Amino acid sequence: MKKMIRLLALSGAVVAILLAAGCSGSSQAEGEETISITGSDTLLQVGLAWAEAYREVDPNVIVSVNGGGSGIGIKALINDTVQIANSSRKIKDTEFAAIKEKTGKEPVEHIVGYDGIAVFTHKENPMKKISMANLKEIFGDGGSVANWEDLEGSGMTGEISLVSRSNTSGTYAYFKKAVCGKGVEFKKGAKSMPGSTAVVELVSTTKNAIGYSGMGYKNDHVNWLAVYDENNADAVEPTVDNVKAGKYPIARPLYLYTVGEPEGAVATYINWIKSKAGQGILVTEKFVPIADDQITK
């Protein structure tokens, strides 16, 4: 009988469990193939949605998706325990070299969409916008802004509670570079959260908090800030339209990495992700699609 895939989120990771009528589901049916994926928490929600939808496209392919962070995904690719690594940052030179040395093949990069990193505040925080310069002073080591009253017009008082991602996260790496600048570390004392959902949840319950995460994790319990830099006085929110138009200053590509050019079921799955059907799911999950000329027909 036809099997179903049930996706369960556990502490920022996802485990795919197969249930079959009349059996334990511990063995794979004849003719079925599994694609194993791990990595970026930013891509976790859409990765799950892709996996679930693809079960209808090809019932013989089971897509198992786990989170944990971009660094974890690329490490799994190096160790040959997955076929695809989800990453919200570009692969590092050291990681590229490690894959080539261990496998004899170079990793191949597949851009599957784009994302804006939103800056979240508590629902009762009246602040509406912030400059890139002030974000650096808030998050960057040695920055001068430690209290809300240090920000003109914030309408808040008290020490700013910083909420960050773990250092295995691609969002952590990209935000640090884009906001703090090359070679500048985050301030000590920031609360390091294991996943994007955890960042938003902590900000929603901490009135003086400020944190960052993928824009797709916005919910009704937090606000996000419009962001501007000194070359553009117009503050813009991290919306799909603003990221697509290149107006939002904290935006980045989203990647899948494979060892060498993908083949067989893996190649077919990645092509489907880049198709109109796969990109439609990406948009539903509040990400920005790839350009029309990159769409797989």
Q: Is the pLDDT of residue 8 over 50?
A: no
Which pLDDT score is estimated for 263?
A: 97
Percent of the chain scoring above 90 in pLDDT: 84
Sequence-distant (6+) residues with CB within 8 A of 23 are none
What is the distance between the alpha carbons of residues 47 and 41, in angstroms, rounded to a whole number? 9
Q: Which pLDDT value is given to residue 294?
A: 85
Cα three-residue angle 46-3-50, rounded to 5 degrees:
10
pLDDT band at 19 (very low <50, low <70, confident <90, very high): very low
What are the backbone dihedrals phi and psi of residue 32, each rounded to the nearest 5 degrees, phi first?
A: -85, 150
**DSSP three-state, residue 114:** strand
> Interior CA angle at 112 toward 108 and 114, to 5°?
120
Q: How confident is the model at residue 293 (pLDDT cuts 50, 70, 90)?
A: confident
Per-residue pLDDT at 143 exceeds 70: yes
Does residue 197 surpass a pLDDT of 50? Answer: yes
pLDDT of 194 above 60: yes
- For the chain, domains (ranges, CATH) are 4-114+253-294 (3.40.190.10), 116-251 (3.40.190.10)
Q: Which of the four pLDDT bands, split at 50, 70 and 90, describes residue 232?
A: low
- Residues 32-46: what's their mean pLDDT? 95
| DSSP class of 150 | G
pLDDT-derived band at 15, boundaries 50, 70, 90? very low
Q: Can you give the pLDDT at residue 7?
A: 37
- Using 50, 70 and 90 to split pLDDT, how confident is the model at 237? very high
Instruction: Average the pLDDT over 114-134 and give the result.
Output: 96
Judged against a pLDDT cut of 80, whether residue 10 lies above it is answered with: no
Residue spans of beta strands (DSSP E) within the chain = 4-10, 13-19, 33-39, 61-68, 84-87, 107-122, 129-131, 161-165, 191-193, 209-214, 222-224, 226-229, 232-236, 251-259
Average pLDDT of every residue of the chain: 89
Q: pTM value?
A: 0.82
Query: How many CA within 13 A on the CB side of residue 143?
Result: 26
Please compute the mean of the pLDDT values over residues 61-74 and round it to a whole number: 96
pLDDT at residue 46 tops 70:
yes
State the residue for tokens 């190649």. 267
